[in-house]
Chain A
Amino acid sequence: NAGVMQNPRHLVRRRGQEARLRCSPMKGHSHVYWYRQLPEEGLKFMVYLQKENIIDESGMPKERFSAEFPKEGPSILRIQQVVRGDSAAYFCASSPFTNEKLFFGSGTQLSVL
């Protein structure tokens, strides 16, 4: 049973470009979470999704950021018009139910030049 798969592992973008981060949850998991880890800071919650629904997006910046978890395919975290401050490690996690153990992916390191 493969773990949570995130790709790409490293993503380099120039300012103004779009970044698309993908997350495939563990088999049988319908809950996906995105976190951002900035240097010298802890993980910050961004968004919690179930299949086709956004449950909690209280941690998402109001502009340029969006997330989806379609019926088929991976969850996508999309950042439009990236800025240097978006450079961070983005982690995805999944769980089968609420209040259950989260399984984390290895993250995507986004670097904005």
Chain B
Amino acid sequence: AQSVTQLGSHVSVSEGALVLLRCNYSSSVPPYLFWYVQYPNQGLQLLLKYTSAATLVKGINGFEAEFKKSETSFHLTKPSAHMSDAAEYFCAVIRGANNLFFGTGTRLTVIP
């Protein structure tokens, strides 16, 4: 069954530094992959999704992710971190009838 694994439950970066959040997937079929962000005390928001149209996917707030089949990865990046990016980030894959399987999340801390 399709699944995702997020490496690193906590990531800290300095303001202005590169953000890299890792996600690896396991799937026997071409996957639909997503990145969601959860700000404190809020529900999830979709950052971006991969549906096989293009390997580099651009999302909101300057985030993007690249689908690499050879590495079974879908890492999330942002060139320059802002304080407002501090949140929990979830990678997810569709499994079954639109059943989203989420990774365990990565908490991003941005240091001023």
1/0 contact string of B24-60 vs chain A (CB within 8 Å): 0000000010001000011111100100000000000
B contact residues around A33 at 8 Å (CB): 98-100
Q: Are B90 and A43 neighbours in the complex by a CB distance under 8 Å?
A: yes
Bound together, the chains give a CA A58 to CA B9 distance in angstroms of 26
Interface of B, helix, strand, loop or mixed by DSSP: strand
Complex interface bits, B94-112 against A, C-beta within 8 A gives 1, otherwise 0: 1011111111110000000
**CB nearest to A9 among chain B residues:** B41
Closest to A99 in B: B98
Determine if A102 is an interface residue (Cβ-Cβ < 8 Å). Answer: yes
Checking A56, A58, A95, A106 against B43 with a beta-carbon cut-off of 8 angstroms, the contacting residue is A106
Which of A35, A42, A93 contacts B104 (CB under 8 A)? A42
CB proximity of A113 to chain B, nearest CB, Å: 21
Q: Which residue of A lies closest to B4 (CB)?
A: A42
In the complex, are the beta carbons of A95 and B98 less than 8 A apart?
yes
CB pair B98–A48 under 8 Å, yes or no, is yes
Q: Which residue of B lies closest to A107 (CB)?
A: B43
Q: How far is the CA of A66 from the CA of B94 in the complex (A)?
A: 23
Docked-complex contact A104 and B90, CB < 8 angstroms: no
Residues in B58-112 with C-beta less than 8 Å from chain A: 90, 92, 94, 96-105
User: Which of A43, A45, A91, A101 gathers most chain B CB within 10 Å?
Assistant: A43
Q: Is there a chain B Cβ closer than 8 Å to A105's Cβ? A: yes
- A4 within 8 Å of B by Cβ? yes
Structural contact, A45 and B98, CB atoms closer than 8 A: no
B101 close to A45 (CB less than 8 A): yes
11 more A-B contacts (CB under 8 A) besides A42-B103, A48-B99, A91-B43?
A33-B100, A40-B9, A42-B105, A43-B100, A45-B101, A45-B102, A55-B97, A59-B99, A100-B98, A104-B36, A106-B42
Could you list some 22 contacts between A and B, CB below 8 A?
A31-B98, A33-B100, A35-B100, A40-B9, A40-B104, A42-B6, A42-B90, A45-B101, A45-B102, A48-B98, A55-B97, A59-B99, A93-B43, A93-B44, A95-B98, A98-B98, A101-B46, A101-B49, A102-B46, A102-B100, A106-B41, A107-B42
